[in-house]
């Protein structure tokens, strides 16, 4: 039995613009430069200015140019994206942070950093209308200003009155209402998740449907033959391109998918195990969202059926395709690896192998990693060159 553990690198391997950087750059381009004359996905992704900004998009357009150019854009959806981006606090903040070849893990870390900025605030801000900005780090000041909850002016920080928990006449001391802060940030995060879903539908799912309508499929033996798939992707790329028809129900989108609720949040930390956990920002946690949106229901049922002591198969080969194996997804990674008799991790260059080893050591520790290599026969295998052919 083959179990595939799939991450965003799988979509990138197929040439689709699904990275954090791609998403931010395309939406920023739409806000600044979209014109009514742009009728197709190719008119956007093939734009010289955008391609010069993001080489990943340039590569994607070069690979799928024909089908991007024939995929019509919904101007209604584009208008919704532009409107949302112009006032969404999370999009504004993440765009300011966007500078490198970041992936989705970095996206989550930026969200976590923003939440920590509010965790570190004092409960009561004395003299809030003239608070000394030197009490905050530059990173925290940037977060506070980005969300419009605080106004930063030179050496002073003031709180927007909407976020005071009380307004007591003739007193300067006022409490910051963290619940109101959380509600504002959470509403903005939900809107960002909707923006992401719309982006993936317009610029990935619809062009992919055009490719398949022409009978064009990628040819690669290592990508075929999965009997079960645990995917962290929101797209339906794997089931459309590679999955055997009779196993269509065995794809588990652990973080939801386009057309459903999607999980967009941060990983747990040491405080999540505390008996007196502060739940103010609990809705930002991925484990909370998995339960609330029920995206992991099929996965839990599947895992229960395939526990080592209960399974009837002799061999379970786990293939990792495009997932970074970062500690943020430790709970899922260790559960899937526990089922395996062999683990094959596919990589695109030697730097990726180094990152995989580092991440697995972070998850298992040095001794645990050595035991994993021996007991699961962990192998690192380079991706084969991917060819697209008409069937």
Number of neighbours of residue 276 by Cβ within 10 angstroms: 5
Give Cβ neighbours of residue 269 (< 8 Å, ≥ 6 apart): none
pLDDT in tens, 74-130: 999 999 999 999 999 999 989 888 765 556 667 888 888 888 877 666 554 444 555
| 152 DSSP β-pair partners | 157
Q: How confident is the model at residue 115, as a pLDDT?
A: 85
- Give the C-alpha separation, 391 to 389, whole Å: 6
Average pLDDT over residues 209-234: 89
What local confidence, expressed as pLDDT, does residue 247 receive? 56
| Residues in contact with 314: Cβ distance below 8 Å, sequence separation at least 6, in sequence order | 341
User: What is the band of 161 on the pLDDT scale with cuts at 50, 70, 90?
Assistant: confident
Q: Does the pLDDT value for residue 291 go beyond 50?
A: yes
Helix, strand, coil percent content, the chain, rounded in steps of 5: 55, 15, 30
Residue spans of the domains in the chain: they are 2-15+218-390, 104-183
Q: Which of 60-69, 142-151, 184-193, 230-239 has the lowest mean pLDDT?
A: 142-151
Mean pLDDT of the 371-377 span: 94
Give me the pLDDT at residue 386, please: 87
**Whether the model pTM is above 0.95:** no
Interval 49-73: pLDDT, tens: 999 999 999 999 999 999 999 999 9
Q: Is 315 helix (H, G, I), strand (E, B) or coil?
A: coil
Residue 253 backbone phi and psi in degrees, to 5? -85, 95
Q: What is residue 96's predicted lDDT score, i.e. its pLDDT?
A: 83
- As a whole number, the mean pLDDT across the chain is 85
Neighbouring-strand partners of residue 388: 218
Look at residue 313 and tell me whether its pLDDT is greater than 50.
yes
Distances (CA, A) of 172 to 81, 158, 219: 41, 12, 68
Length in residues, the chain = 391
């Amino acid at each position: 039995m083959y179990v595939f553990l799939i991450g965003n690198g799988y979509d990138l391997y197929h040439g689709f613009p699904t990275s954090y950087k791609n998403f931010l750059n395309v939406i920023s381009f739409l806000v600044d430069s979209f014109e009514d004359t742009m009728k197709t996905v190719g008119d956007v992704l093939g734009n010289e200015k955008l391609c010069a900004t993001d080489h990943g998009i340039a590569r994607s357009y070069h690979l799928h140019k024909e089908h991007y150019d024939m995929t019509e854009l919904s101007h209604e959806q584009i208008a919704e994206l532009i409107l949302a981006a112009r006032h969404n606090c999370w999009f504004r903040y993440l765009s300011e942070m966007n500078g490198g070849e970041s992936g989705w893990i970095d996206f989550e870390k930026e969200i976590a950093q923003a939440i920590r900025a509010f965790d570190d605030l004092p409960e009561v801000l004395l003299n809030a209308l003239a608070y000394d900005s030197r009490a905050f780090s530059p990173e925290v000041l940037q977060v506070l200003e980005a969300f419009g909850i605080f106004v930063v002016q030179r050496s002073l920080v003031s709180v927007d009155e909407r976020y005071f928990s009380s307004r007591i006449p003739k007193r300067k001391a006022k409490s910051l209402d963290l619940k109101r802060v959380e509600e504002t940030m959470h509403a903005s995060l939900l809107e960002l998740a909707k923006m992401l879903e719309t982006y993936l539908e317009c610029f990935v799912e619809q062009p992919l449907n055009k490719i398949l309508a022409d009978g064009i499929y990628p040819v690669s033996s290592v990508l075929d033959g999965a009997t079960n798939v645990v995917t962290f992707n929101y797209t339906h790329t794997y089931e459309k391109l590679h999955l055997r028809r009779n196993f269509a129900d065995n794809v588990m989108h652990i973080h939801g998918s386009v057309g459903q609720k999607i999980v967009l949040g941060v990983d747990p930390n040491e405080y999540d195990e505390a008996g007196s956990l502060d739940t103010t920002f609990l809705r930002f946690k991925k484990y909370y969202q998995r339960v609330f949106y029920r995206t992991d229901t099929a996965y839990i049922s599947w895992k229960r059926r395939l526990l080592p002591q209960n399974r009837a198969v002799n061999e379970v080969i786990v293939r990792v395709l495009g997932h970074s194996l970062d500690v943020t997804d430790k709970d899922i990674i260790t559960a899937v690896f526990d089922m395996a008799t062999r683990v094959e991790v596919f990589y695109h260059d030697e730097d990726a192998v180094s990152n995989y080893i580092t991440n697995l050591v972070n998850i298992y520790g040095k001794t645990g990693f050595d035991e994993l290599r021996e007991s699961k026969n962990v192998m690192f295998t380079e991706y084969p060159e991917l060819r697209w052919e008409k069937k």
